Amino acid sequence: MQLLIGKELSSNDKIYKPDFSSKSGRELLAFYLQTKFKQIFLYDKKQPTPIINNVNPNFIDRFSKRLINNPARRLLIGVTGESASGKSTICHEIKNVIEQLSMPVTVLSTDNYFNDISALINKYGTFDNLRDNGYDVDAPTSFQLDTLRADLEDLSDGLDIKAPMYLPNGTGVSMPKAIDIPSQKIIVVEGIATMYDAVKDEFDIKIYVETENELRKSRFMTRAVEERNQSIENAQKHWNYIANAGEKYVKPFRKEADLVINGNSDLKYFAQMLEYIYDITNNYAGS
């Protein structure tokens, strides 16, 4: 990928910066990006460990039309995947690279949109007891999806929002309008709820992160036992729940993703790919 970046920066085969205020200028940019994206995907496919496991055949054309027809809208990127797939790590890498390139970026977690279940936890004593009595925490009905959709619509229109905040301390409390979220040029939204039916169409780019189950389990168990002080027995019980929930609620959306990303990919290489995408959209002849 570093070789591609070098070729791009030194190449004489560049277009002059289009006039983005005109539709013809945006159409020229879209055609240029289509060519470059195909180049990226072909390059990645030849690597020993590709980052991109699958590309939706309609993605490039649909994304190009979006740039042409609605250039003022904020760019919303949704990142989903089963628990411990690496989606949060990849989101942070996206944010880090974008910030290094001096571009404004916002990161929002859909975990903040869990329903308030404090009354249920009080009734059953603990979250684990609630789960063991059949509460399906990862089901779409366990999220404030109407609020999430409204917030995504506002963010895409350039409006700042106040997102809810779900407290990860076992109380099940959700605080409404507790987090200030600015509407930046690029908005990355991470979590299992990003691809649920009520909100998935809000995103311009849908990314699904997939990782082998054994690696996901190892990550999850380590985090539960070492970082959250759970017993091995309870961690195993919760793993069994989220593994089944992932199969039921998250994995079906893989086929709808624009990009399926290898969750165990080399982050340095991933960062270089993002840098290349930045270069091809900002490196014009005469600039």
More confident residue, 174 or 39: 174
* Long-range contact set of residues 268-274: C-beta below 8 Å, sequence gap at least 24: 269/1, 269/47, 269/51, 270/51, 270/90, 270/93, 271/93, 271/96, 271/97, 272/1, 272/2, 272/5, 273/1, 273/40, 273/44, 273/51, 274/93, 274/94, 274/97, 274/98
Q: What pLDDT shows up at residue 209?
A: 94
Count CA atoms closer than 13 A to 217's CA, side-chain side: 11
Residue 281 has pLDDT above 90, yes or no: no
Segment 262-284 shows an average pLDDT of: 75
The alpha carbon dihedral of 275, 277, 282, 285 has a sign of positive
Spatial distance between the Cα atoms of 2 and 102, rounded to a whole number of angstroms: 20
186 versus 178: the higher-pLDDT residue is 178
Q: Please tell me the pTM assigned to this model.
A: 0.87
pLDDT digits (tens, 9 = 90+) for 188-197: 999 999 999 9
